[in-house]
Amino acid sequence: MAGNCEYLMMRSLGHWLVVGALIASGCQKQVESTSKLASERQKMVDEQLKPRGIRDERVLAAMAKVPREEFVPENLRGQSYSDSALPIGGDQTISQPFMVAFMTEQLHLQPTDRVLEIGTGSGYQTAILAELVKDVYTIEIVEPLAKEASARLSRLGYTNAHVKTGDGHQGWPEVAPFDAIIVTCAPDKVPPPLTQQLKEDGRMIIPVGTGMDQQLFLLEKKNGQLAQTAILPVRFVPMMGGEVEKQTANESPSPSASAELRRDK
């Protein structure tokens, strides 16, 4: 009887040892994959960002810190630090790391700034901004994406990122004006409410155009006027919505935002 009992105890101990070993190996794998991703992240900074001219130390530090793998779909985790945009569902994408760093650097952000982002998507660009400024206000037109991004940003501790579902053509008048505005989807012209909600000396980075014919523009507000610089050809998803604005533009021939622009370069 005692022998039997001992045998059973050994069996059960053996069972728990196996379970323990499996848990330990699972944890080990998790640790390995987390540290592998961290080293891929640093490699992305060293090989994709620095050689292409990203110099702002704060931007580089944010890019080296924010875990992009948390923002890409589970099945694409292994490609988190590839040099490309990735699908995030609903025909939308998370931008290429270089483009995120480049657009962020162009804004010359200060720790005290309040920034408006149009096109939350996965929330990755939002997290990079939230590392660098006081508050980020971000608008996403696709409700499930906005909800997921909001939950993800809270889980990662970004209490200074405020997400809302809506059409970015209207900006966010209740919390305007902003020191900087970043648009990560392409309208065919700059929505006037965005230029109105930009502070004096503020900077806006925005892709403008349709289909393959898009340019990234930097707009700077100086003495109430907008100086416009075309920076490079780009390809972003189109900015949806804007119906109210299109209707108003058709009804009244008043000058559009593009008419206010002064081309510097």
237 scored as a contact of ligand SAH (CB under 6 A): yes
142 scored as a contact of ligand SAH (CB under 6 A): yes
Tell me the residue length of the chain: 265
137 scored as a contact of ligand SAH (CB under 6 A): no
Which of 95, 122, 150, 258 is labelled catalytic? 95
- Whole-number Å distance between alpha carbons of 114 and 66: 19
| Ordered alpha helix ranges (H), the chain | 2-44, 57-65, 97-106, 124-132, 143-155, 192-196, 243-251, 257-260
121 scored as a contact of ligand SAH (CB under 6 A): yes
Closer residue to ligand SAH in complex, CB, 184/197:
184
Question: At its nearest, how many Å lie between ligand SAH and the CB of residue 16?
Answer: 44
Restricted to residues 176-205, the positions that interact with ligand SAH (CB under 6 A) are: 184-185
153 scored as a contact of ligand SAH (CB under 6 A): no
- Whole-number Å distance between alpha carbons of 14 and 112: 58
171 scored as a contact of ligand SAH (CB under 6 A): no
Closer residue to ligand SAH in complex, CB, 240/261:
240
Closer residue to ligand SAH in complex, CB, 94/226:
94
**Candidate residues 177, 231, 241, 261; the one interacting with ligand SAH per rule CB under 6 A:** 241
Nearest CA to 240 out of 144, 164, 140 is that of 140
DSSP helix/strand/coil, 13: helix
Point out which residues pair with 140 in neighbouring strands: 165
130 scored as a contact of ligand SAH (CB under 6 A): no
| Ordered alpha helix ranges (H), 142-237 | 143-155, 192-196
Catalytic (active site) residue 95: yes
Contacts of 39 (CB under 8 A, 6+ apart): none
Question: At its nearest, how many Å lie between ligand SAH and the CB of residue 129?
Answer: 10
59 scored as a contact of ligand SAH (CB under 6 A): no
Give the H/E segment covering residue 180.
Answer: strand 178-183
**Candidate residues 122, 150, 195, 214; the one interacting with ligand SAH per rule CB under 6 A:** 122
Query: How far is CA 219 from its chain centroid?
Result: 20
**Candidate residues 94, 115, 194, 226; the one interacting with ligand SAH per rule CB under 6 A:** 94
What tokens were used for 88? 């995030």
Closer residue to ligand SAH in complex, CB, 227/238:
238
104 scored as a contact of ligand SAH (CB under 6 A): no
**Candidate residues 49, 63, 116, 119; the one interacting with ligand SAH per rule CB under 6 A:** 119
What sign results for the dihedral spanned by CA atoms 64, 81, 167, 232? positive
Are 217 and 238 contacting, i.e. CB atoms less than 8 angstroms apart? no
Contacts of 260 (CB under 8 A, 6+ apart): 195, 225, 226
Binding residues for ligand SAH, rule: CB under 6 A, are 92-95, 118-119, 121-122, 124-125, 139-142, 145, 167-169, 184-185, 237, 239-241
Among all residues, which ones are annotated catalytic?
Answer: 95
